[in-house]
Structure 1
């Protein structure tokens, strides 16, 4: 049993419009609560400052969230006149690179908040009055509302990255994630038998265009790490001269190491022979049993070569996460089809760090791998490319313009990702030199 093809924006079964409306409302409200937390926790000076040329000022993200909601829900779905047409260009992500955004005449914090709130109030009226069954693909099954909730949560993740990059004392707090009670008993790797499986989806109503359509991939057998690579394992790579041996590095990676004099993951430093890291304004000892974080694709690839292994392909990663040999079908998530819950995965910024490797046994996949959803984004060896039969929807700039060898695929989400954005089919991508993102990895080898 596999996903059967259905049009984008449609659901696999009869649509329960009111349930979809409630789901969309909850997703929009949850996203806005998080946006408020991330922007209300710092003063106006910090909102308007650029904490890194890699990131926008937080106030840009805040108004951009409102502008995209206006464009797609008020103008696109409801056909209403523009509230602030003069600001569209300021908040067009393709018109202005992040490094240049502080020089733009951006809305000041109070005005940005008021604009986003006004748009939200009107958008909820649109949600209440829009038929979600049938109709245009943009609104079918609540797609446009789900897309906007996902968009806001994606910017919340980028704002959390900005919080990590900012200097100064901690302003965010969260409890520690659960321990891994049986980590010592886990095998180092698990076998994923060869054969076909269904990759991607044609039935997930809020899946984005690059996750579609469902298609069959035949993947030879392979072994994959049971958990993401830990900080302790990565320290062994460092201590064995990992950053000084050119043979482990792809040319782009070695150039990055030499140019930036890299010796460890981003935010790590050594003091009196001990590795420390800075995490959201706190300096702490690097936890050996936690998945390594803030490493680039180049670093992940070098570690894998050093370990005599390799990064999994994107298809291998998804098969390990979704394929159920007993039924022959692909699950929505490693644990099954039910939505994420706190006992299954580390998502939604409930914690401000990954859980120890081996945590969340109930969230394991049929092959026995753990933490494939949440904790850290996992680099794969694959370029970001379209699936067979790909069709851009509802705009080319979400996925299509990024296809090609310049970007590598990451899968699985992180502790900073909300469940509405995280599925077993969800695809993320970034440049292979990026380190500020909440990225880790696991390794694989041929069976």
Structure 2
């Protein structure tokens, strides 16, 4: 096996170890549905194996289906999450045996496949990148489920670097065109392609994500009780949900508390706010006299290098994430303090754009000009439209293999259980330009 194949094999091992770690608990917790928003953990575990069987074994390897009867059970489009507990899905032990059998055969396919041939599914190991990223995304979903379970002691924590004083800093992005999307990232999804030229007027964007301290000021100023700050559909959501603060926040004795993986703790005011939906982010931005950045504004501020005329893979360059650059891969079970990664700044000086929290943008999820579905419509195409808002950047729970400057995430604007935050932007005045 050559070096590239060994690298892919190592990524497969790493992501599977992660999946098994998040499901290394009592069977009752794995089969229980902790929220109608989420699948039972054991469904996610078997689903990643079924997905790997479909794409690596069958599509890339031409192997006869191992368990064709499971395709329907683990089809995410046929069965909404709230209905999955009623399906005759595999139990924990059987799910582990199934995914282990799939993985052994997947490594056999990797050993024999031509990664330099004409088949776009094979070329540059795309099909393996597909399943690796897919499993990491489900691992992040598992973490969201574990947070909703409110069971303590199931998720490891870790140490993060200290932050630094931030204030209300913003950075300027001059007017001009940039290349949005990618034609060169081998594991990029279809919705990131093709690259195309976008012209933007000058604008300002926050140097850091909005922090808990700033968001608490919005809450304490009555932001949740004033319809003036909310879009009409956002105010309707606020009334129906009775939300009064970020998800998992409570107020006791003049102090804000949050429940994090089953344990209550004071809200650390120096961290980026997380577990807010798009409507909350939009309302805060209006209250602050700002707005959410468009998806294009976010991507240009994150990775465009005007000096070289190209987009960087990450804000700091093309080299992969290091501990001093970003908070990724469940290094700790929380965002890092604001200002913790000055070395990870973008060419324009924006910080913490990769990792910590997914960042809501103002944009709905739409295809780029020249978009073509690959390898299947249901990954991106069926979600295009006004029902979904785009998030960028990746959270502390996202793995480095599944984030980059051009990566696009999307969700309904009411979603709060995800590890989501935001930063604000504003258009530059003629005098500032």
TM-score using structure 1 length = 0.94
Q: Does 1:20 align with 2:4?
A: yes
Match of 2:16 among 32, 38, 41: 32
Give the C-alpha shift of residue 176 in structure 1.
Answer: 2.7
Match of 1:347 in 2: 328
Q: Does 1:389 align with 2:370?
A: yes
Q: Does 1:432 align with 2:413?
A: yes
Match of 2:344 in 1: 363
Match of 1:376 among 342, 357, 368: 357
Match of 1:151 in 2: 134
Query: Would you say how many aligned residue pairs link Structure 1 and Structure 2?
Result: 428
Return the alpha-carbon distance in structure 2 between the equivalents of residues 220 and 59 of structure 1: 48
Deviations 1:25-82 (A, max 9, x none): 1221111010011001x20000000000000000000110110000001111111111
Provide structure 2 residue ranges, at least 5 long, that are not aligned to the other structure: 429-433
SS of 2:336's equivalent?
coil
Provide structure 1 residue ranges, at least 5 long, that are not aligned to the other structure: 1-16
Match of 1:8 in 2: none
Deviations 1:193-215 (A, max 9, x none): 11000110001000010000111
Match of 1:212 in 2: 193
Q: Does 1:334 align with 2:315?
A: yes
**Would you say the 8 A contact 1:177–1:353 is kept in 2?**
no
Return the alpha-carbon distance in structure 2 between the equivalents of residues 422 and 235 of structure 1: 29
Match of 2:45 in 1: 62
Give the C-alpha shift of residue 165 in structure 1.
Answer: 0.3
Give the C-alpha shift of residue 187 in structure 1.
Answer: 6.2
Return the alpha-carbon distance in structure 2 between the equivalents of residues 207 and 227 of structure 1: 26
Matches within 5 A, 1:195-344: 195-344=176-325
Give the C-alpha shift of residue 135 in structure 1.
Answer: 2.5
**Would you say the 8 A contact 1:291–1:440 is kept in 2?**
yes
Match of 2:105 among 107, 122, 128: 122
Deviations 1:362-419 (A, max 9, x none): 1100111100000000000000000011000000000000000110000000000001
TM-score using structure 2 length = 0.97
Give the C-alpha shift of residue 343 in structure 1.
Answer: 1.4
Deviations 1:278-323 (A, max 9, x none): 0111110001110000000000000000000000000000000011
Deviations 1:244-274 (A, max 9, x none): 0001001121111111211100000111121
SS of 2:208's equivalent?
coil
SS of 2:66's equivalent?
coil
Deviations 1:60-116 (A, max 9, x none): 001101100000011111111111011110000001000000000011110000000
